[in-house]
A = this chain, B = another copy of it.
Amino acid sequence: MTDQNCGVSNIVGASFSIHPMSDDFVDIIMGALKEVDTSKVWLETDDVSTTVRGKSVHIFDVTKALFMHAAKTGKHVAFQATYSVGCPGDSEGDVYLEVDEVPLNEEKVRDWKQYVAAKFSLYPLGGGNYMDAIYQQIEAMKEYVTVSHAHYATKLEGDASQVFAGLENVFNATVEGGSSHTVMTVSISANSPSHKDSN
């Protein structure tokens, strides 16, 4: 880990997992990876999670598209991600920044209807007023989906595209608001048998 470029570097990353609760989990994950164009992000998978690094727009585009493709199978799918940007704590390299801002997968999944329940937590690190930033972004999220309070997180319910749009907005707004090191954790559940409203 190096801090040399702290404050200059704008590498956004996500460490995420897609968990299809199905005997076909390998096929579902592989199928999603095949359908999604990941050429504008650095990507590495190990036995715990997949990490993508690059420009913010592509990190959200790729993670959303992978989740949407997995959920489209109709199986109960859980998605877990930690989005992160900033330093100290980040390392250099392993990143594609020499690409344009045009998302590669947005158009394909834009009109897919997928009800989800989700929880997100925002952690602006290293600053004293971090709770204000959190409350502000919970308010902002209400423009996208249904928001309620949960222990240790904020609950979101609605269409997957709107949930991801809200998450991307909240994350970017926290960074633009001055947080030098921002972490956002997200858990999303699709097609759960315990969803009360899964239209």
Residues of chain A touching chain B, judged by Cβ–Cβ distance below 8 Å, are: 1, 13-15, 17, 19-23, 25-26, 45-49, 51, 53, 76, 78, 80, 82, 84, 88-89, 91, 94, 117-119, 121, 123, 125-128, 130-131, 134, 149-153, 155, 183, 185, 187-189, 192-196
Expressed in whole angstroms, the minimum distance between the Cβ of A76 and any Cβ of chain B is: 7
Closest B residue to A75 using CB positions:
B23
Which of A13, A82, A151 is packed against the most chain B CB atoms within 10 Å?
A151
Would you call A15 and B47 a contact (CB within 8 A)? Answer: no
Which of A26, A121, A152, A187 is packed against the most chain B CB atoms within 10 Å?
A152
* A84 to B121 alpha-carbon distance, docked (Å): 11
Give the residue of B15, B125, B188 whose beta carbon is less than 8 angstroms from that of A130. Answer: B125
This protein's copies in its complex: 2
Closest B residue to A85 using CB positions:
B152
Closest B residue to A156 using CB positions:
B48
* A23 to B23 alpha-carbon distance, docked (Å): 5
Q: Given the known A-B contacts A15-B152, A130-B126, are A119 and B49 also in contact in the complex, defined by CB atoms under 8 Å?
A: yes
Residues of B within 8 A of A51 (CB): 150-152
Would you call B151 and A53 a contact (CB within 8 A)? Answer: yes
* A47 to B19 alpha-carbon distance, docked (Å): 15
Give the residue of B84, B118, B153 whose beta carbon is less than 8 angstroms from that of A82. Answer: B153
